[in-house]
Amino acid sequence: MRSFILIVIASLFALAYAQGSKGTVCGNQGLLGNSRPKKFVGECNRSDSWGVLSSHNCFDRGGSKYLCVLSGVATCIDGPAKLKKLNMEKGECFA
Ligand SMILES: *[C@@H]1O[C@H](CO)[C@@H](O)[C@H](O)[C@H]1NC(C)=O
């Protein structure tokens, strides 16, 4: 289990490195709650959605959460400080 986690972490770094300055492209399919029953993922609440933005634009507009789907797993990144460092695209921005 532990080595599996290490492999996952190593591949995430490899992926981030391969994508370089282009950043990570999220695989979100539509907005939260539109095509799926889930209306919340962690602190990401559909009611607060500002739609699909890059993490950079989300931060610039004053957003504070970002939902990114990677390998079919949706993660809500919570907090402007984290958002600022993300360098992700095609994810969903939340107030
Ligand atoms: C999501 O936001 C709506 C509108 O602000 C609020 O009524 C609801 O309680 C929130 N849900 C959660 C789980 O925070």
pTM above 0.85, yes or no: no
Q: Which residues of the chain have pLDDT under 70?
A: 1-21, 35-37
pLDDT of residue 7: 47
**Beta strands 73-78; 65-70: pairing state:** antiparallel
Nearest atom, ligand 1, residue 40 CA: 13
Among protein residues, the one with the nearest Cα to ligand 1's atom 5 is: 47
* Cβ atoms of residues 52 and 89 within 8 Å: no
- The protein residue whose alpha carbon is closest to atom 10 in ligand 1 is 45
- Angle subtended at Cα 54 by Cα 95 and Cα 49, rounded to the nearest 5 degrees: 30
- Name all residues whose Cβ lies below 6 A of ligand 1: 40, 45, 47
Residue whose token pair is 């370089």: 20
